[in-house]
Structure 1
Amino acid sequence: MSDTTQLSSFIEYVCSSPKYAMLSKDLVSKIASEELQNKGNRAKALKSTRTRLHRLAGAFIPSNIDYAKWLRVFKDLPSQITSEHLASLKQIMRLHSSTAERLPYLDEVYKDIFSHIPSPSSILDLACGLNPLAIPWMPIDVDTEYHACDIVLPMLDFMENYFSVFRPNTHVFEKNILEFQANRSFDLIMLLKTMPLLAQIDKTAPDKLLSRLNFKYLLISYPLQSLGKQYKGMEKTYRTQFENLIANKPFQVQEYKLPNELFFILSHHD
């Protein structure tokens, strides 16, 4: 069996898992290729591939969301955003661990954060999860461009269908942010609870990503408790991680804190 055939077979085997079949094929192929080359042994490569994929995305792959059902729910609602519509958005965001943790503070968190960010005309939400569904709670103009990317394919398909009806100037796309390269500037880029995941994959990944972003404002957040709702000294750890990330870089930094999430707003010095 040729090396190319062996690699293709290995990638297909990794993707045969229902969990990892939901992820970007480019990302799975990249990690699987690296691990097969590094380990040589197929069994060891499979274990290390699954470990890396789980660290990057495993905890945030919502396996309990019936996207077809939720599309039917929103299809039956009027095109304008009503209280019933907002309630439905909260229900589906509750099914994704990252957005679920932010729900108790949804009415104020974005109002408070955006008070430090002059009306952005363009937003990029990296590794977005279901966060774009929180747009109705963001004090942004109806014509603000909102771009969002992630690696979970069924979730992206759902949001693409949803926004085509309810907010057509929201653009959703598949992208592995380990290889993200901005080809334009954005008024605001959001990286919510993402830097710790990148650092687990590659300690240099957060700094590399930051160097490739072009923005007026950058919103970075870190979780203050685990998915099991344990604090475990996470604030101290992530403050240190953030301070190391921006050391010797010309940013102004503002801080905003929820009981379970720490935000930093970065902007360039004038």
Structure 2
Amino acid sequence: MSKKNESLLDAAALIAELQNSRKYRSLQLPAETIQDLIAHAEQITRNPREIERIVREKLHHLVAGYLGDPDYDQLQSELKQAATDPQEIQAICHQVLATHASTRERLPILEEFYPRLFAFTGTPHVLLDLACALNPFALPWMELSPKTQYYAYDLHQPRLDAINTLFEINHLPRLAIHQDILVEPPSIEADVALFFKEAHRFEARQHGCNREFWQRIHARYLLVSLPTQNLTGNHPKIEQHRRLVEETTAGLNWKITEIPFDNEIVFCIEKNA
């Protein structure tokens, strides 16, 4: 960037301020995430105050779902205490899934959700959970093999620590990874990649980013889930989200099969079709 087009923003100072702020400190956000937001804001304006406003707004939208999370230290303790009791582990996971709207909506259909998906894809040996949020706590309902490699990616380190504890007590490798997958997409070769209720949020972060991101995921099946209505239930979203998937995959030789549920629709994208 030429000096003429450089902004006067002190990016390092803003990153440090946001990472250490009362609002975000406990999340332990990757510096790369904030740097990426700054870089895209600088493409819009050179005004430092405006760049900072855009970054703060985008960051809030990006991590708002993390605020008000469970106490992850306590959760890890509860999981370790229940390590030899599968029913108690499932009960704890059910409570965790109930804490967020996106996973709480899935509770009534949890018994059928993964069997329907894996009947289509086959039970994965290598599974990617992209921007996983609390989804790994559905592990007791997935019926995965103990030999499964389950990679879960998220921005929230305390959450990932709890997920790794869950994996460990279920005799799975500790593969919950602190990584901004938009900045650095996983390079793992997988059977199935889950991208649940995030594609529309990625669009809000960076318009048009899903196409390149989906192309860079090395999985035979990419399962993209999107809500069929807004959180209040007042506005249908299915056609809007169907267009998002159609526009993202336009011109690509991918086979797409829709699997509908009550509150969300899963687009099963076969990338090697």
TM-score (norm. length: structure 2): 0.88
Structure 2 counterpart of 1:260, from 260, 263, 273: 263
Distance (Å, rounded) in 2 between the aligned partners of 1:4 and 1:43: 10
SS in 2 for 1:75: helix
Report whether the alignment pairs 1:7 with 2:11. yes
Q: Which runs of 5+ in 2 are unaligned?
A: 1-6
Contact 1:10 1:32 in 2 (8 A): no
Q: 1:147 to 1:236 in 2, by over 3 A?
A: same
Q: How does 1:1-270 map to 2 (within 5 A)?
A: 6-21=10-25, 22=27, 23-35=29-41, 39-58=45-64, 60-82=65-87, 84-227=88-231, 229-268=232-271, 270=273
Distance (Å, rounded) in 2 between the aligned partners of 1:185 and 1:267: 14
Q: Which runs of 5+ in 1 are unaligned?
A: none
Q: Once the 2 structures are TM-superposed, how far is the Cα of residue 207 of structure 1 from its aligned partner?
A: 0.3
SS in 1 for 2:120: coil
Contact 1:79 1:166 in 2 (8 A): no
Contact 2:225 2:265 in 1 (8 A): yes
Identical counterparts, % of pairs = 26
AA in 1 matched with 2:162: F
Q: Once the 2 structures are TM-superposed, how far is the Cα of residue 157 of structure 1 from its aligned partner?
A: 1.9
Distance (Å, rounded) in 1 between the aligned partners of 2:10 and 2:43: 11
Contact 2:202 2:209 in 1 (8 A): yes
Q: Once the 2 structures are TM-superposed, how far is the Cα of residue 250 of structure 1 from its aligned partner?
A: 1.3
Distance (Å, rounded) in 1 between the aligned partners of 2:44 and 2:196: 31
Distance (Å, rounded) in 1 between the aligned partners of 2:257 and 2:44: 41
Distance (Å, rounded) in 1 between the aligned partners of 2:148 and 2:197: 23
TM-score (norm. length: structure 1): 0.89
AA in 1 matched with 2:36: K
Matched pairs, number: 265
Distance (Å, rounded) in 2 between the aligned partners of 1:223 and 1:18: 31
Q: 1:145 to 1:209 in 2, by over 3 A?
A: same
SS in 2 for 1:178: coil
AA in 2 matched with 1:263: V
Deviations 1:36-85 (A, max 9, x none): 67544443222211111123332x21424111111221222142412x22
SS in 2 for 1:169: coil
AA in 2 matched with 1:70: L
